[in-house]
């Protein structure tokens, strides 16, 4: 089917976690003002940014990777993401030097190299950024790349009225990303339509991988054991 020119020209949309408002304000304003992306703040539980229907981006400070202190928190976060997303990218950002602070010398630790090795082995992509502005540029590149691969977020991201309740219902399903929940809202008229869909229809409608669609299908049809109910 030949695409009507212009249908894809709208700038890509990026979902950002509301908490980034405090920790990454320059990233957000840069995405909007310099790169002209549509940025929507959402209460994303797990990831910092959602760039396409399948790609989540975590923004980590270099200092967070330096010491073993953050290890368990980091691995929990990334494991959760792997349940919900097909692709994960980590942007390692150099810490900001605060006024009056002389530039800290970055001491590369064994732990840091170990974390990088583990990320690579887990198939997580890693990008390095020297500041928030550069992080924004990288996010834009990722969004454009995903847009070219036809995985861009193309549904409206502002839920209203009944949509809001539906979205909240879908978001409570384990391992379902915010993007997938939005897709479910727009691809299916009602929860009943979702519940009666085949695995293939779920995968196509919500743009999920086969395994994720199977998990959703199982969840919706799961016969609850009254014994296990809390």
Partner 1 sequence: PVTAGAIVVPYGHVIGNEKWRGSEVAQRLQGKVRLIFEDGLGLVDFHLSNKTCILFISEADLVAGDEFKRRLVKFRNASSLRGIVIVEKTQISDQYYSGVQKLVVLELGMVLLPVANQGEASQLIIQLVSFCVREQSRDRGSNPFLGRQRAPPPEPAVLQALQRIPAVGRTKALLLLQRFGSIHRLCNASSEELEQVVGQTVAQQIYTF
Which residues of the chain form contacts with partner 1 (CB under 8 A)? Answer: 71-72, 74-75, 78-79, 82-83, 106, 108, 110, 113-114, 116-122, 124-128, 134, 137, 141-142, 145, 165-166, 168-169, 171-174, 190-192, 195-196, 215, 218-226, 228-230
Smallest distance from partner 1 to CB 38, Å: 21
How many CA atoms within 13 Å lie on the side-chain side of 161? 1
Identify which of residues 36 and 113 has a Cβ nearer to partner 1 in the complex. 113
Pairing mode, strands 87-93 and 125-129? parallel
DSSP 180: H
d(C-alpha 13, C-alpha 144), whole Å: 10
The SS3 of residue 187 is: helix
- Minimum CB separation of residue 68 from partner 1 in Å reads 11
Give long-range contacts, CB 8 A cutoff, 24+ apart: 192-199: 194/220, 195/220, 195/221
How many whole angstroms separate alpha carbon 34 and alpha carbon 48? 20
Tokens of 55: 């790609």
- What token pair was written down for 117? 């090795």
The phi and psi torsions of 186 (rounded to 5 degrees) equal -90, -25
- The smaller minimum CB distance to partner 1, of residues 23 and 75, is found at 75
Cβ proximity to partner 1, 187 vs 195, nearer residue:
195
Which has the closest alpha carbon to 178: 76, 56, 28, 91?
A: 56
Which residue is associated with the tokens 């727009």?
186
Pick between residue 7 and residue 110 the one whose CB is nearest to partner 1: 110
**Shortest distance, position 71 Cβ to partner 1, whole Å:** 7
- The least distance separating partner 1 from the CB of residue 143, rounded to whole angstroms, comes to 11
Shortest Å, Cβ 149 to partner 1: 11
Q: Which tokens in the block code for residue 223?
A: 């016969």
Q: Please state the closest distance from residue 4 (CB atom) to partner 1, in A.
A: 28
Nearer to partner 1, 7 or 160 (CB): 160
- Closest to partner 1 by CB, 21 vs 109, is 109
């Amino acid at each position: 089917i030949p695409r009507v020119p212009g249908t894809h020209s709208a700038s890509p949309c990026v979902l950002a976690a509301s908490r980034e408002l405090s920790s990454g304000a320059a990233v957000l304003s840069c995405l909007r003002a310099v790169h002209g992306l549509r940025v929507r703040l959402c209460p994303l539980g797990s990831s910092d940014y959602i760039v396409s229907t399948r790609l989540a981006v975590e923004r980590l400070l270099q200092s967070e990777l330096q010491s073993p202190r953050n290890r368990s928190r980091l691995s929990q976060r990334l494991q959760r993401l792997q349940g919900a997303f097909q692709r994960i990218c980590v942007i390692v950002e150099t810490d900001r030097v605060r006024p009056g602070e002389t530039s800290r010398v970055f001491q590369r630790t064994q732990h840091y190299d170990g974390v990088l090795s583990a990320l690579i082995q887990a198939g997580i992509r890693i990008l390095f950024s020297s500041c928030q502005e550069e992080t924004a540029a990288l996010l834009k590149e990722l969004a454009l790349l995903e847009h070219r691969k036809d995985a861009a977020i193309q549904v409206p991201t502002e839920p209203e009225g009944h949509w809001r309740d539906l979205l909240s219902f879908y978001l409570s399903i384990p391992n379902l990303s915010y993007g997938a929940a939005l897709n479910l809202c727009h691809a299916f008229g009602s929860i009943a339509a979702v519940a009666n869909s085949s695995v293939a229809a779920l995968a196509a409608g919500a743009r999920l991988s086969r395994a994720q669609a199977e998990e959703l299908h199982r969840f919706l049809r799961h016969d609850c054991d009254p014994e296990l109910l809390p």
